[in-house]
Structure 1
Amino acid sequence: MAEMELRAVVCASPAAGQVLEVEVTLPAGSRVADALDASGLMLPLDAPCGLWGEAVPRDALLRDGDRVEVYRALTVDPKVARRERFVRQGARNAGLFARRRPGGKAGY
């Protein structure tokens, strides 16, 4: 690899349980949009993206070894999903109640 190049990994999850990763080599001074174009992945133009889990605009500069991530919209509100999981598991199998000492008070 020449001094004037950088490597980045472009990651996207088009559907639940499906992850696509492509490693790209770009010239120094490249931006997030350049990495997305070089990846060859068919991604929506308006999809939000980020570097290492932090949202950034598409014109943000890349550094060598960056992980460019493309995010998709949530299908379920995380709070609702947690409530539904709690109902399925039951109160005795989740949270503080799951780790209760034998003979201990409820909630401790």
Structure 2
Amino acid sequence: MTQEEFEQYQQQLEEEKREREAHFAQKKAERATVRTHFREKYRLPKNEVDETQIQQAGDDVVLPTELAKMIAEDNQEETHKQSVLGQLSNIQNVDIDQLKDKAQATLEDLKKQTENCSLM
């Protein structure tokens, strides 16, 4: 092997090493992003290592579609659970449709009463 071939080989090895390191940093940042999401969700203390890994990857942190979909579904579930109807659905033996109908009927009764009000 000549000196020139050896240098090309070394250069190729260095390039492959940089690609592997970039790929590995991306994977670490993806995992750190998911962990950060769950830390925020469950109000756990932040982890400096995760934040450092995300910063090192820069703005190139793109979650795989499966992970992004999981997080989106998780956020939707949380939003629903925090809503009034979500809280009511956690109570056993509650018919939400019946509650909606009763609330609508009460609202209509109030509207009729205000229309018939002699002061207004």
Name the TM tier (shorter chain). under 0.3
> Normalised by the size of structure 2, how large is the TM-score?
0.26
- Please state which structure has a larger fraction of its residues in helix: 2
> Normalised by the size of structure 1, how large is the TM-score?
0.28
- Please state which structure has a larger fraction of its residues in strand: 1
Bigger relative contact order (CA 8 A; separation at least 6):
1
Larger Rg: 2
